[in-house]
Structure formats: structure tokens, C-alpha cells
Structure 1
Amino acid sequence: MEWLAGRIMLLSGARRALVAFTAGLTAVFALPPFGIFAAPFLSFPVLVWLIDGASGNPDHGVVRRSFPAFFIGWCFGFGYFLGGLWWLGNALLVEADEFGWAVPLAVIGLPAFLAFFYAFTVAFARLLWSDGIGRIAALAFAFGLFEWLRSFVLTGFPWNAIGYAAMPAPVMMQSAAVIGLAGVNMLAVFVFAAPALIGTRKGLRTGFSMAVLLVAAHFGYGFHRLAQPLPPPADPAVTVRLVQPLIDQSKKFDDSERWTIFEDHLTLTQAPVESGGKRPDIVVWPETSIPFLLTENPDALLRISEVLQDGQILIAGAVRAEDAGAGQPPRYYNSIYVIDDRGQIVGASDKVHLVPFGEYLPLEGLLSAAGLNAIAAAMPGGFSAAATRSVLTLPGGKTLYPLICYEAIFPREIGNDALPTNALLNITNDAWFGNTPGPYQHFLQAQLRSVETGLPLIRAANTGVSAVVDARGEVVTGLPFGVKGYVDTILPGKSALPMSPQEQERNGMLLAGLLLALAIISRGSFIFREN
């Protein structure tokens, strides 16, 4: 191992860049749908050894000395994000005539941009670099810092944060209920990078002992929490039906198909329950499942009232239009409607966090003048964002916290007003991305929100994965990707959180402080020994 570490440290030029890129690409295999937990244990030691050999000219300033590490981090990040996000190009091929030209920007351009977060991560870590366990702590702290920045800079895109590689199953998710995703990001990097100590031997015993203890605590706490009695369902129990219609995305743009799509949803809604089962109290359709403006189609509301039985409620994704005033075009929202058995809209919530270039155009005046449109917007100008998130209150008093599509990947999107609700509600339309890793990655991230909040999750996706997840992240029932159908289940109960979201965040900050302190002390000791 020492021989291998030495060879990697001494790499230069294109070979160094290729090894960094390959290491980042390898780490992707820890994510869905692969879930190879060992992959980052190969990637991160290689990254550490590359950083070991990335010392700039000591006669140069800090910026120029940091460039070799910056470049390694960028190559690693480019491999990671290219391997993890290439499927975004599928969305542009749905309307290839209009958006096909932008495929290279999505497949290569976005990963190249996101790679700069990891470039700064590695450059920052190199400033605190030492020759033992301190450098592992420095890398873990730096990843925690820049993954946190990635969650909100330029509206944020924390997709595939490193911590998800350490949480492929519910037993490995429970740590997030104590230290949050940010904390898991840091501890994951520390553990993944620990085998690098074998290559240099310095700090090996201490570093390995810490890594083994962290892994044991990670699994041990997971087994402990999952062994606790399940929270009882809400009283009275509520039966939920998830509808997964498997509508091809291109058909949604065909006016002649709209009513057929609508009727497909209704057919699944009124399908009989299994023998001995209870009829659903709530039926959930995916994002934008109603393929026209519902308020302009009274016949559609009438059809819904004909299909719903007494007391049943339909929750469905739809586009909502709002009058913007005299002389102004209407505003459109990506919304959720709550519709009762009389065909009345009794509740609604609009999407707050829109997808840049997907649902709206940044710098709209400039880019629209150049002939560009938002990819997923079915009307000129794209969608408008709601100022605040509206909790859905259902007839009967149950409340749901709505997350539309990729809002579920943002832990910080879920405010304190979520905790009193009965469940999280995530509706999405991942048909844009086809049968690629995207829908599976999306589901894992939504699943973790249940663990962090102690709330069950109701998730309806057009093409999958649709599921009801309990308050500890375990799937109660669901439909796999690519299956048309429906599934009924009783909504699980809420779980008491070991730590509130605020305490999770504070614990994450405390962990960051400890890692930073270890890195600084090790760096100081390293400089002292050199002098």
C-alpha cells in the first residue's frame, strides 16, 4: 500500500488528472441504483494521496501554491458529477428539436461547474494539510463546508451530497437524525479517507481506531433506532392510495392526449381495493398530473366528483394560473390541489423552490430575448415561485407538508412548521429522465427527509419510485420504477425525534469545529517538526 501511495503522489500532468477524475467517477457507484458502499473507500484514499503530492512552489503566493490542489479537486469533482448527473441530458431530449442543442451544457457543463465546489474544497483542505490524521480531518471539514455552500449558493443544488454514499439503507440513515446531512457529509469523508493512512503509516492506529468507532456507532445507532417500536398510525387511521400512471413525458405536450391522460389517472383512482382492504381516504397523483388548467375545465372537476366516493380526497399536481392585473400576463405556478368528493378545490400549495432553466429562466429578460425558454414550463415566461410554503390542511383536520419535485432534496426547505404536520408529501414527475439513475437518487434523498423530521413520507411519482415511507426511512409499500399501477396503505404515524432539526444543525457545527481544531493542531505540529 505504501508503494501505491508513493506512485500516486508522484503522478503529474495528464496522468494525475486522469486518476483524480477516475477516483471521483468511482465514488458514484456508492449512489443509487448501485449502492456499492465500498466504492468511496477506494476513491477517497486516492484523493488524499493526490493531495499529498500537490505541493506548489513554496516561493509562490498562497493562490498559486494552491493551484495543484485546486486542479485535483476539480478533476475529482468533474468525475463525480459527470458520473452522477449525466442523465439530466434526457430531459432535453424530450423536445429534442428545441432543446437538443443544450445537451452538452447539461451533461458536461453543469458537472464542470459543480466541480468547482470540490476544487475549492481540496484547495482549502490543502491549506490545513499535514502528514497524519490531521489531513483527513481537514478534508472532512472542507467537504462539510463546501457541501453546505452547495446547498444554497445560486439557489442551491445539493444533489448527491457525499453523505448519501454512507446512507444507502435505513439502518445507515439514522445518524442524520442526530447530526443532520451536513454532519454525515463530514463523518463520511473522514471514514472514507481513513484507509489513506495505510499508505503513509503516520496516524494509522489513531485514525483507524476513530474510523472503526464511527462506523460502529453509525450502524449501532441505526440498529438501535430501528429496533424501537414503530409509532402507531394516526387516530383515526388514514388509508392512502398512490397512483403511478406511467405517462410518457412527450405525450403531455400533445393536446390530443390530455383527456386520455386525465382518464388514465381516474381509472387508477377508482380501481377496486384488494380483498378485505379498506377503500382509500386519500388518493395522491404525481406532479403536474392534471394536464390542463383545472380551473378552466369544469368538466374535469365534475369527472373527479363522479369518481371520488363520499368522503374521499384527491391530492393532485397541476399548473395553477393567477391573474396578475390589468395588462399583465397571468402568473403560473407548479401547484398541488386538494379536491373533495364534490369536485371542489379545498386547498392548494405552490412550489417555492423552482428549478433554474427547468421551470424558470434566470436573467429572463436577457435570455428570453435570445430565444431561450425554460425546459419544463408549458407557457411563456415559465413558472412563478410562491413566496411561502402553504401547509395542506385536509378535510377532517389532517395536515401535510408539501414538497414538489426536487424541493425534497433540500433539508433546509423543511421548516419548523413541518413538525406538527402528519406527514411529508412529495409529488414528482421523473419521467423527464427515463430509466436512469436520476429517479433512484431522487427517491433516496426524499427518503432521508423522513429520518431527519420524524415524519412519514407520501411520495407519488409519474414513472416511479412511488412509496409510503415511515418516520425512520423504511419503505412501507410502494411501486418500483417503470410500473403502472396503484398501491394502498395505512399512513404510518409520526416518530419522536432524538434531536430537533435545530439540534441536528448545532451538532453538525460542533462536529465541524472539532474537525477544524484537529486539522489546525496537526498542521501546527507538522510545521513545528519541519522547522
Structure 2
Amino acid sequence: MRRLINLPLALVAGALLALGFAPFGQALAPVAALAIIFSRLTTIGTLRGALATGYVFGLGYAGAGVYWIYHSIADYGGGPLAGVVATAVLVALFALIPMIALVSGWWVGGGNRLRTPLLALPLAWIGVEWIRSWLATGATWLSLGYTQIDTPLAHLAPVFGVVGVSLAVVMTAGAIAAWLAQPGTRRFALALGIALATVSVGLALDRDWTVPIDEPLSVSILQGNIGQARKWDPDERGAILGEYLQMTRDRFGDDLIVWPETALPVFYQQATRWIDPLAREAADAGSSLVIGAPVARDENRYNAVVVPGDPPQFYEKRHLVPFGEYVPFRDIAGGVLDFVGTPLGDFSAGQSAAPLRAAGHDLGVSICYEVTFGAEVADTLPAADLLLNVSNDAWFGASTAPWQHLQMARMRALETGREMIRATNTGVSAFIDSRGAVRQAGPLFESAILSATVQPRAGTTPYVRWRDWPMAALSMIGIAGLWLTGGWRRPGRGG
């Protein structure tokens, strides 16, 4: 009977965890979900059972969390059939990530009903979360710590990053799981004590890690709301460019005017006869332009952000999305994979994280998916005094993904102690303060201009100095310690 219960319960627990992410924002859901799955794993005696339970949990987690992949492929790629197949494959692969974390913790815990949920499973979870942030180009979507962006645990982020916030969640869940596995007054007190301790540490770290410098800047974000089909239609290029030119002129006088990712529907070099005069007009009005545009150089194409001028400045996207901005193995697969990738052909990766200078300040730039990588955004610091993220989330459709993406951008602002300007094509454009709070957000799938003041800041948070290394070291050393003390499962010990 227990085996029959484990798999459905694991599936429900995985889906419950996804409710912690935006737009749902149920911060206690991940704690409950992990407490359930941790407590069930401590009762499982076979590797086969642990693998099945962990994988089904992963399917619930991934299915509820990244179902929106279907919209990206079906609506803008190869159609509904391709969307179903691609989504099924990617969810099945994503489900391996939590499975590996759970089975690793189960194995190292050795069946001990206190050590397994309280130490082994939490350490394995954050270790896998760190590894997946860089292995095979990295997979950072749905990292657990994002669910706590609006709770006291978020104050851990400027010190330990999103992985440190994840640790607080899994430690609390592990303590509750230990109590669920063996109910009793002592274990209840332990669970309550750990929960209060994590919140107390978060509250103790609630402070400003950076300081304001200079006067605030007036900034306008141009959200063009250009649909993907229209964006790459050659007959629409003139109209699209005209819309952005008019929106820009409407905001002359603002310190910064920002266009979203690949707002130009042609390569930047093909549009300089319009952009260069516009930039001169803007400068005469006291404004600086920052434009998302594809850039061609030699035989390479780049997804870039440009500050027009003499000479223009370029930031070229360093972390490209596989199958979105380039197709691995295209030479081998040939035309089989032509339904994915950018309409302009494969992009090349940029190399420099150097900030762009605009309106007298240094902008730490990230493009779209790059904002999900904390260490890479930190590469622009401490030189940058503002963060800029440009994105085109039209690919996600009317799903949860734009809100999840915004949630991750908020964490980057919090980790670095910098305000962020987030300009998107279809939403969610936003101004985010240095504590990760959204000061102003635009609508989804509407043309809009967002205007606000932003405050440049200086200083370095502990996370910018240390990145994820303290959490990685804690996980590796902790797991090694459990392994060496004999916690791991041997034949004959339930394995």
C-alpha cells in the first residue's frame, strides 16, 4: 500500500513545489512539498523505489513549472505536434535534476531517519542546484530560492546568493520531514527551532549593502509589443522602426531611453541611417539611447545591446540559449533541427562583460536568459552602478514564464545591491530596486512606455565577492563528511 501511495503523492508534491514560483508566489508551498517528499524517501528501502519516487516528483515539478515550453515551440517553432514532442522530452529531462538530488541524498543518508532528511537531502539538493547552474551551459530555471523573494529568507541573497536561500528552504523542509518520519516533541521542537533560526538570520541580514551615488536618473522603457510573426516580416520593418522612433522622440529629455532585446528588426549596421540621426537628436535633448539589436560583424552574428555614438558601444550576449539562439549539432542533424533557432541564423557568443557607458553611468547588461545566472550578472560588478536587462518574452505566450523570468531578475538586483532597468518587448517590463522589489511594472502584451527615476549605487555585496563558492563548498564538504562517516547505503542496508 505504501508503494501505491508514494508515486501519486510524489507527483502532487512536485506540482505543489511549482506553486512557490511567480505568478502564484505561495512561498510555503515548496517547504511543504519538500517536507512531504523528504519524509517519504526516508521510508523507502530500495534504490528502485527511490529512483521512481524521485523521478515522479521531478515530473510534477517540471510539468507544472516549465509547461510553457509548449507555447514557445507550438506557436513560434514547428507547430503543435513539435510542441508536444519537445515539451515531453524536455520535461522528462528536467525531471532528472530533482531526481538526482533526491536519490543522492537518500543514498548518502544511509536510511537514518534524522540524518537523511535533516542533512543528506538538503546538502544534496543545493549541491545539484549549484552544479546545474553551470553544467552543460547551465539550467537555472526553477531554482528553489526564487520562491522566497518576498519573504525574510530573501535577505540571505546578498550574502549567499539564490543557492543560500535554497539552503534555508531545504533545511526547514528537512527538519519538518524528520518530525513527520518520527513524530515526537523533540523533533517538533527541532523543526520549529530551525524554521525560526533561518527566518531570524534573514531578518538579521536585512540591511543595505550598497550606497546611492550621484543624482537619480530619469529613464523610459519602450515596450513595443511587436509580435514574433510581425517582427521578422520584411514588409513590416519600416513600420516597426517608425513606431520605435516615434516612441523615442516622445521621451526626449529623459536621461536614458531603453529599447528591448532585438527591438531593431534588422541588423544594427543596416539601420544606422535612421539610428545615428536619432541618437544625435536625443543627445541634443539631453538623452542617451540604449538599443537592443542584432549585430553583424565579419561572418558572425550577435544578440547585442548598443549605445549609439561615435563610436558606438556594444555588449554582445555571452550566454546563448541552446536551440533558441543557436542549434548544437546542426552540422550533424542537418535540416532536422531547422524548426528551432533564431530566424536570423545562429548567433555567436560575446566575450566581454564590461559595462556600457550611458548618461554618465555604467550599465551592467544582461540579455534575456543571462539574467537567470547570478554569477554572470555579478561579472559586471563592482564597476556597474546600475543593472540593465533587455528581453523578448513574446516566445513564452500568455503563460507563467514571463513572471518567473521577472522573479529571477528581481533576485539579481537583490544579490548585487543594484537597481535594475528591465526592458522587454511584450512584458513584463519593470523597474526593480536594490532590494529586489518591483517599483513599477508594465502590462503584458500591450504597447507601453514606462517612466521612472532610478538610483545609481556603489559598493559590493558579499555575494558579488564570493559568488556561489561558499554554498558549493558547504555541500561538497558536508556530503563528503556524511560519506566518510558511513552514512551511505551498502548492500544489506536497505540498498
Same fold per superposition (TM over 0.5) = yes
Aligned to 1:190: 171
CA distance in 2, matches of 1:115, 1:210: 32
Aligned to 1:264: 243
Letter in 2 for 1:317: G
Letter in 1 for 2:195: V
Aligned to 2:222: 243
Aligned to 2:197: 214
Aligned to 1:149: 131
Q: Between 67-76 and 293-302, report the one with greater CA deviation.
A: 293-302
Deviation readout 1:134-160 (Å, 9 max, x if unpaired): 222211001011111111111111101
Aligned to 1:308: 282
Q: Between 419-428 and 467-476, report the one with greater CA deviation.
A: 467-476
Whether 1:291 and 2:265 are equivalent positions in the alignment is yes
Aligned to 1:394: 358
Whether 1:349 and 2:315 are equivalent positions in the alignment is yes
- Counterparts of 1:354-373 in structure 2, within 5 Å, are 354-367=320-333, 369-373=334-338
CA distance in 1, matches of 2:23, 2:201: 22
Structure 2 counterpart SS, 1:399:
strand
Aligned to 1:384: 348
1:525 Cα offset (Å)? 12
Deviation readout 1:193-234 (Å, 9 max, x if unpaired): 332233212661453144223342255236x32xx59843x4
Pick aligned residue for 2:255 from 273, 281, 287: 281
Aligned to 2:158: 177
Letter in 1 for 2:331: G
1:75 Cα offset (Å)? 1.0
Deviation readout 1:311-348 (Å, 9 max, x if unpaired): 3211111111112xxxxxx32111111124xxx56211
Aligned to 1:77: 58
Q: Between 399-408 and 296-305, report the one with greater CA deviation.
A: 296-305
Whether 1:124 and 2:96 are equivalent positions in the alignment is no
Deviation readout 1:394-418 (Å, 9 max, x if unpaired): 363x211111100000112134442
* Cα separation, partners in 2 of 1:518 and 1:186, compared to 1, 3 Å: farther
Pick aligned residue for 1:43 from 17, 33, 43: 33
1:105 Cα offset (Å)? 3.6
Letter in 2 for 1:419: P
Compare CA radii of gyration and give the structure with the larger one: 1
* Cα separation, partners in 2 of 1:47 and 1:191, compared to 1, 3 Å: same
Check the 8 A contact 1:463/1:483 in 2, yes or no.
Answer: yes
CA distance in 2, matches of 1:332, 1:347: 16
CA distance in 2, matches of 1:521, 1:160: 31
CA distance in 1, matches of 2:272, 2:178: 68
Aligned to 1:12: 3
* Cα separation, partners in 2 of 1:230 and 1:454, compared to 1, 3 Å: closer
1:81 Cα offset (Å)? 0.9
Pick aligned residue for 1:26 from 16, 21, 24: 16
Structure 2 counterpart SS, 1:308:
helix
Aligned to 2:389: 426
CA distance in 2, matches of 1:435, 1:456: 27
CA-atom RMSD, angstroms? 2.8
CA distance in 2, matches of 1:502, 1:418: 9
Structure 2 counterpart SS, 1:128:
helix
1:498 Cα offset (Å)? 4.9
Q: Between 252-261 and 76-85, report the one with greater CA deviation.
A: 252-261
CA distance in 1, matches of 2:489, 2:188: 18
1:421 Cα offset (Å)? 1.2
Deviation readout 1:372-428 (Å, 9 max, x if unpaired): 226341234x111123334212363x2111111000001121344421211111100
Aligned to 1:6: none
CA distance in 1, matches of 2:301, 2:410: 29
* Cα separation, partners in 2 of 1:105 and 1:412, compared to 1, 3 Å: farther
Structure 1 counterpart SS, 2:322:
coil
Check the 8 A contact 2:72/2:395 in 1, yes or no.
Answer: yes
Whether 1:53 and 2:43 are equivalent positions in the alignment is yes
Aligned residues between the structures: 487
CA distance in 1, matches of 2:488, 2:239: 71
Unaligned 5+ runs, structure 2: none
Letter in 2 for 1:245: G
Percent identity, aligned pairs only, is 27
Check the 8 A contact 2:42/2:113 in 1, yes or no.
Answer: no
Check the 8 A contact 2:42/2:116 in 1, yes or no.
Answer: no
* Cα separation, partners in 2 of 1:173 and 1:239, compared to 1, 3 Å: same
Check the 8 A contact 2:126/2:471 in 1, yes or no.
Answer: no
Unaligned 5+ runs, structure 1: 1-9, 57-65, 274-278, 324-329
CA distance in 1, matches of 2:157, 2:408: 12
Check the 8 A contact 2:154/2:165 in 1, yes or no.
Answer: no
CA distance in 1, matches of 2:201, 2:222: 35
1:354 Cα offset (Å)? 0.6
Letter in 2 for 1:308: A
1:355 Cα offset (Å)? 0.5
